[in-house]
Amino acid sequence: MVEKARDEVARLVRAESDSVIFTSGATEANALALRGMVEAAADVNKPITRLLVSAIEHKSVLKTAETIAERVADTRLEIVPVTADGVVDIEVLIRLLKADEGRAVVALMSANNETGVVQPIMEVSRLCRGAGALLLVDAVTAAGKIPLDANLCDCMSLSGHKLGAPQGVGALVVSGATPLAPQLLGGGQQKGLRAGTENLAGIAGFGAAAKAVLSNDEERSRVTVLRDGFERALKDMLPQSVVMGEAVPRLPNTSNVALPGLSAENMVIALDLDGVMVSSGSSCSSGKIAASHVLAAMGVADEYSSIRVSFGWNSTKSDADAVVTSLVKLWQRAHPRAAA
């Protein structure tokens, strides 16, 4: 069952089956990738001295990179900025890669978990290979929503529950030539790269979910129409609303919207009272009201406090309409004179 699931997860990202290492989730996968590459490179006398991490990465990447830079001698963290649309700044990355300051690991997610903005992985892959840098792609948010190719990077992290599998299972897909030191030692499972008894039920569910989403092009199209219709309706009713990353490619299911002058906290609470579930940031931060490091990296002004609206297999047009109706009511309560 584990090997069958390994085949199915590999097929999802166009990888070889033996390149898939099952983990407890994407947080562990990202830690294994970053720490494992840094440690293994040092062991073969090709030390990694720079971690080039995009400003919009998930906290599991940012915090792990920060810790490595603090604890590993002669290794430093450099944050790669993004444009106002939330796309990694390619010109800055080129400049950093050309700097003759040692070997680098670049970390760039395939699509952002708050805005849905898709990143230029193919171009970044070409740049990294030309500079001899290693590339980690966090594909958690994008898996099952857009085509992925693990051959473009050295490591790719995935999470089962984002596809509909149980929580508590993920994977790291590792290129055969990538140096990687295990972080969990013991029984030698998974070619010695991740010891510990496998989560059989979770892995089987991960494989089944990976197989299911490979053939859901029709569903992706349906959700895209739903998301685009929601955004049009919101702008028709509230022209002052802002859609983050609207001008660049985004995932079909994600809409990050702001209403100037309305806080994310107020929007989340108002929608919740109307029976609508949204978040003020990434899904793993739902229920927490805090400033978004993603929006800050995009240079979004403070008054634009946004919410993330996500659409899935059970979302309907009436659900999308309910979000619009609730936000319009909130806006009218906050601006009674304008509403009148």
155 tagged catalytic: no
In this structure, what is the dihedral angle of CA atoms 33, 34, 35, 40, given to the nearest 10 degrees?
70
| Strands 76-80 and 103-107, sheet pairing | unpaired
The answer to whether 261 and 334 are in contact (CB under 8 A) is yes
User: What is the spatial distance between Cα 205 and Cα 203, in angstroms, rounded to a whole number?
Assistant: 5
- Amino acid at site 210: A
Instruction: State the helix-helix crossing angle for 2-12 and 200-213, rounded to 10 degrees.
Output: 30
For residue 255, give Cα distances in angstroms to 96, 187, 226. 31, 44, 11
User: What is the spatial distance between Cα 67 and Cα 16, in angstroms, rounded to a whole number?
Assistant: 31
Token pair listed for 7? 């085949």
DSSP state of 315: -
> Of 128, 153, 155, 284, which residue is the catalytic one?
284
- Residue 113 has, within 13 A of its CA and on its CB side, a CA count of 28
- Indicate if the alpha-carbon torsion angle 216, 217, 220, 226 is positive or negative: negative
User: What is the spatial distance between Cα 340 and Cα 318, in angstroms, rounded to a whole number?
Assistant: 26
The answer to whether 272 and 322 are in contact (CB under 8 A) is no
Element (H, E) at 60: helix 59-71
Tokens 């584990």, located at residue: 2
With vertex at residue 256, the alpha carbon angle to CA 123 and CA 220, rounded to the nearest 5 degrees, is: 65
Tokens 């494989």, located at residue: 207
With vertex at residue 282, the alpha carbon angle to CA 334 and CA 216, rounded to the nearest 5 degrees, is: 110
Token pair listed for 109? 């997610």
- Amino acid at site 146: I
Which residues are marked as active site? Answer: 284
